Each structure stands twice: as C-alpha cells, then as structure tokens.
Amino acid sequence: MIYMLDTADIEAIKKAVDLYPLAGVTTNPSIIAKANRPFSDIIRDIRAAIGPDRMLHAQVMGKTAEVMIEEAQAMRELDADIIIKVPVTPQGIKAMKALKERGIRITATAILTPQQALMAAVAGAEFLAPYVNRLDNICADGTQVAAEIAHLIDVYKLDAKVLAASFKNVQQVHEIAKAGAQSVTIAPDVFDQLLVHPLTDSGVAGFVSDWEGVYGEGTTVLDVI
C-alpha cells in the first residue's frame, strides 16, 4: 500500500513524515484555498516538509486543455517533480495526452466511474483517484468502483495505480485496501485513526505496569541490559 496525506497543513505533514511510512502528499483546489496563502509558497513549503524523494500532487484549474497544460508547466517550474492532477473531463483527457507526451506525471482526479478511470489511464495518467466517500454518500459503492478500476488496470496491463481518495472513516480505508487499491490519500484526522485501538492502548499499558513493577518507573531495556 502506498500511503499519502491529503492536506496542505504543514505541521500535519511534518508529523506524518516523522511517524508514518508516507509516500507523498496530495492537494486539491479546496485544500489550497483553505490554506489561504500564495500557491507558490504552499508548494515550496510542502516540498521542504516532505523532502526530495516523496511525491507531491497539485491540481490544475483551467477549463480548457490548453490552459491546463500551461498551468502544469508553470507548476513544474515551481517543483520539477510535481505530479499534475487533472480532472476526468473531455478537456482534461485531452490535456493528459499532451502532458504524457511531455513526460509529465499525471494523476487523474474527480473519478466517479470505472470508465472515466480507464480512459484516463489510456490517455497517460499514472494515478487514478476515485472519490470513495462521495460515491458512498449518493448510495453508490465507492469500494466497488475502486475494485473495478483495479481490475481494469490488471486486465489491460495498464501502467497505472488506483489512488483512492475522499475518506471519512477508517473502515472505508480498510475496505479499499481489501479491494486491491494500490494507494490511498487520507486526511490527517483519519490517517491518525488507522493505528488507534483501545485494546492496543490497554495492552501497552499492561506491559509498562508489569515492567515498572519490577525494574522501576521510567526504565527501559537500556537500563537493565
């Protein structure tokens, strides 16, 4: 599983980089707008927080392929390794084809159907981002859509990965993992919950109590080895 954090919160990013096996950070226009700072500053600050080897995804806003391509090139001047998010509209697919020819990495976003994902992959997208919770909210099945996308990738031997997005709880992330999605991008509040369980906490507390009852409060293996 490729784990990514869906945020522009620099402190949350630094925390995740420190604690978790984080492969990168994704953003979208809503996340960028919430940060309410110059776009270039946000991108540079995220890159500084994640280092040179992790992925950074940012989205174009143009309504035509030509503007999307110009935006992508401008973003690449800010960060040479940035992965460009492009929505799966007809103009977006056109932009993906052109960006692929230029050797620019692409994430297809705003995916709600397997056919949108399939066409984006054929057009050159490396990551395919279905919106899991948004589908669940309209009585569709976000996990099933992601599973079907993963199946199509396998059937047609495409050089693409599912990047499942839009999660509101840990169970959705778990179901996506079972469905075979290769990667996920998760908001910080849900990401932190992936490791939380009361029996884990009580188990660790029991180990500490038993140990300190014999070797003393605050001791570790280093103190008794």
Residue-range domain boundaries for the chain: 2-194, 195-225
Question: Given 15, 63, 85, 161, which residue is catalytic?
Answer: 85
Q: Which two tokens stand for residue 57?
A: 């995804």
Q: Amino acid letter at 78? A: L
Q: What dihedral do alpha carbons 78, 79, 84, 85 form, nearest 10°? A: -80
Q: Amino acid letter at 28? A: N
Active site residue 34: no
SS3 151: helix
How does pLDDT run across 21-41, given as a tens digit for each residue? Answer: 999 999 999 999 999 999 999
pLDDT band at 81 (very low <50, low <70, confident <90, very high): very high
Per the prediction, the chain carries an average pLDDT of: 98
Q: How far apart, in Å, are the Cα atoms of 120 and each of 55, 100, 101?
A: 20, 11, 14
How does pLDDT run across 176-222, given as a tens digit for each residue? Answer: 999 999 999 999 999 999 999 999 999 999 999 999 999 999 999 99
pLDDT band at 137 (very low <50, low <70, confident <90, very high): very high
Q: 2-194 belongs to which homologous superfamily? A: Aldolase class I (3.20.20.70)
Inter-residue contact 58 to 82 (CB < 8 Å): yes
pLDDT band at 145 (very low <50, low <70, confident <90, very high): very high
pLDDT band at 120 (very low <50, low <70, confident <90, very high): very high
